[in-house]
Amino acid sequence: MELRLGARGGAGRRRNPGSTVLPGRVVAVSLRERILITGPGGRVGREIVPRLREHFALRLLDVAPLKSIALAGDDEFVQADIRDCAALRQACDGVQGMVHLGGGF
């Protein structure tokens, strides 16, 4: 969805806190809340991701590329290890919640 924002950056809708808006520019805006799911490529993740996708914008974080789940719509994928604090902190930026399924080492 594209939303053209006016000179003051508002169109009656909440902007993503991390987005930069310049007057008169067209930006892509997701009006759905984004949640982070760690370990989506596992057994439980393969079952829950399609159900959560119906209600939320998803950011999927896994240590390996996802083979069993195709990205759809407004999904985002982050390849990182949950033991990497800096990467995990960055993946959490801008999300409203987290479903932690990772860690089956």
Burial (0-12, 13-18, 19+ Cβ within 10 Å), 61: buried
Query: pLDDT tens digits for 36-75?
Result: 999 999 999 999 999 999 999 999 999 999 988 889 999 9
pLDDT at 11 over 70: no
Number of helices (H), then strands (E), in the chain: 2, 6
Give dist(CA 20, CA 104) in Å, integer: 37
Q: Where are the domains of the chain?
A: 1-31, 34-100
- Predicted confidence at residue 79, as pLDDT, reads 96
Give dist(CA 90, CA 11) in Å, integer: 28
CATH number of 34-100: 3.40.50.20
| Higher pLDDT among residues 27 and 57, named by residue | 57
Nearest to 5 by CA among 27, 36, 30, 32: 27
